[in-house]
Amino acid sequence: MINKSLKELGAMLQGKEISSVELTQEYLNRINRLNPEINAYITIDAEKSLAQAKHADALLADGKSTALTGLPIAQKDIFVAKGWRTTCGSKMLEKFIGPYDADVIERFDGVGAVNLGKTNMDEFAMGSSNETSYFGKVQNPWDRTRVPGGSSGGSAAAVAARLCAAATGTDTGGSIRQPASLCGLSGLKPTYGLTSRFGMIAFASSLDQSGPMARSCEDMALMMNVMTGFDERDSTSLNRPKEDYTRDLNKPLAGLKVGLPKEFFAEGLSADVAKVVQDAIAEYKKLGAEIVDISLPNTKLSIPVYYVLAPAEASSNLSRYDGVRYGHRAKEYTDLMDMYCKSRAEGFGAEVKRRILIGTYVLSAGYYDAYYLKAQQIRRLIAQDFENAFKQCDIIMGPTAPSTAFKAGEKADDPVAMYLQDIYTIAVNLAGLPGMSIPAGFTQSTDGKRLPVGLQVIGNYFDEARMLNVGHAYQQATDWHTQMPEGIE
Ligand code: GLN
């Protein structure tokens, strides 16, 4: 049962082979057993989840169900959910109870899906290893001594360990794709503006986007059908006709032009990851794809640009946590200024503080032109690189991350090494393009563990249906995405 896809579980619910209450209970039992170690969830509320499951069973009985009705889905703890504790991985929001639903939560509730719980994440989505969470690190189910990636590491570990049927994530610089790569699952960051940011706690608003994390592209297509759509409460939400993301899943790939950027296969990419990615590309050739060599010349500038722009936006977004309206407030203080300072000093962790300091610095008078404005100009050049590339190819492929999962603690004291995890993913956010990671094989660690490798697939704006087709064709031809870590039975 736990290995079934959303589609298969949906069919079992429709066929009355199982009820949503039974299915939800089965996952809750697994969470009780495995989560104390894996730590993929921050908050579980069995009563709430089971009440939703009961409601779903009524919809199923009345013939009012759709594809995701009754399916247990884990929600990254960045989405505000009514009545649920919503922490964003921070002490600042340790006791915050959501007063309303984020648009994404509302959409899943609207089709009768079950919220199985809130997943662990790097504090305010800042990180690539889940080690910055106030609620403790998350284990990678493939090797418990390694990180699951971040910032959606809880969602990734939950999907990989079969502690949910699928999960949501958010991606500002790679936070859906990199953990999907490190945990051996499929993750998609849509074109900026396709999913609403309403109720999704803001990190860097011009980059943040939510998306599905699941075991297959077919499952992600079903989730995209629910998650996307115009929302007038988000000023950057796009008003476009609703799409069916399953529509092209079974198209043949013959004639597909796949661009390989030379900058993605250069220094910094580990040799065993490169080998897996090359094998995946060979498989695509067999499926009829044509390979084109392309260049994204400004790739190396994407990390420095991101670490000016994202902290700038974060410093502004996080100014709302001042201890006045909500969030942590220091117990003792002398005056208002002291209360602000102590509340923020106590409530935020080290990485968040580092970003606030950098962001405030680059936005300050005298430095604005030198850093922030310059970074915005280079952001434009990075977007133009992709514009040029898509004149030569339909889709871009390469590695998702430069390495497989690393050991917990290995990069925790070296922010620059940590930031380099996103060297292949960040440019996609800067350009607002859709990007996806799918399981492409394994490497062997020195201690004999199999570690998953992700293939990144980057599409042109609004080309998600084609990307899912590209991923699905590969998943029909290979079985990397169905493999399960040992010891989670
Ligand atoms: N790892 C990057 C960061 O720390 C990206 C995080 C994300 O996509 N939320 O900012």
330-377 pLDDT, tens digit per residue, is: 999 999 999 999 999 999 999 999 999 999 999 998 888 999 999 999
Ligand 1 near 151 CB (within 6 A): yes
Q: What is the pTM of this model?
A: 0.98
The yes-or-no answer on residue 151 being catalytic is yes
Instruction: For 224-233, write each residue's pLDDT tens digit.
Output: 999 999 999 9
Q: Name the residue of 78, 121, 126, 208 to mutate for ligand 1: max ligand atoms within 8 A of Cβ.
A: 126
95 is a catalytic site residue: no
Distance 134 CA to ligand 1 centre (A): 16
Q: Is 174 in the pocket of ligand 1 (CB under 6 A)?
A: yes
pLDDT tens-digit series, residues 236-250: 999 999 999 999 999
Residue 403: active-site member: no
Q: Is 175 in the pocket of ligand 1 (CB under 6 A)?
A: yes
Atom of ligand 1 nearest to the CA of 125: 9
Measure 255 CA to ligand 1 centroid, in angstroms: 35
| Ligand 1 within 6 A of CB of 310 | yes
Selecting among 90, 151, 315, 403, the annotated active-site residue is 151
Map tokens 């899912």 to a residue: 468
- Asked if the model's pLDDT at residue 457 lies above 90, the reply is yes
Residue 1 has pLDDT above 90, yes or no: no
- In sequence order, the 6+-apart residues with CB closer than 8 A to the CB of 199 are 79, 80, 98, 100, 101, 102, 103, 104, 105, 106
pLDDT over 90 (residue 273): yes
CA of 259 to the centre of ligand 1 (A): 25
pLDDT at 447 over 90: no
Of 197, 192, 191, the C-alpha closest to 231 is 197
What is the band of 322 on the pLDDT scale with cuts at 50, 70, 90?
very high
Tell me which residue has its CA closest to atom 5 in ligand 1: 173
- pLDDT for the residue 69: 98
pLDDT value of position 81: 98
Cα angle, residue 174 at apex, residues 166 and 382 outer, rounded to 5°: 140
Q: Kindly name the residue from 133, 175, 302, 343 that is annotated as catalytic.
A: 175
Indicate the pairing of strand 450-459 with strand 395-399.
antiparallel
Ligand 1: atom nearest CA of 176 is 8
Query: Is 101's C-beta closer than 6 angstroms to any atom of ligand 1?
Result: no
Token couple for 213: 């994390």
Q: How far apart are CA 276 and CA 442, in angstroms?
A: 7
**In the predicted model, is pLDDT for residue 489 greater than 90?**
no
pLDDT of residue 365: 86
Tell me the per-residue pLDDT of 165-200, one tens digit each, with 9 for 90 and over.
999 999 999 999 999 999 999 999 999 999 999 999
36-70 pLDDT, tens digit per residue, is 999 999 999 999 999 999 999 999 999 999 999 99
Q: How far apart are CA 167 and CA 212, in angstroms?
A: 6
User: Separation of 200 CA from ligand 1 center, angstroms?
Assistant: 15
Q: What is the mean pLDDT of the chain?
A: 97
pLDDT tens sequence across 89-130:
999 999 999 999 999 999 999 999 999 999 999 999 999 999
Residues 6+ apart with CB under 8 A from 446: none
Best mutation site among 120, 175, 210, 302 for ligand 1 pocket (most ligand atoms within 8 Å of CB): 175
Mean pLDDT of 379-397: 98
Position 295 confidence tier, pLDDT thresholds 50, 70, 90: very high
128 Cβ inside 6 Å of ligand 1: yes
Would you say the CB of residue 171 lies under 6 angstroms from ligand 1?
yes
Closest atom, ligand 1, to C-alpha of 128: 1
Write down the catalytic residue from 5, 49, 76, 155: 76
Given a cut of 90, whether residue 382 has pLDDT beyond it is: yes
Rounded Cα distance, 397 and 395, in Å: 7
Q: Write down the pLDDT at residue 177.
A: 98
> pLDDT confidence of 162, banded at 50, 70, 90?
very high
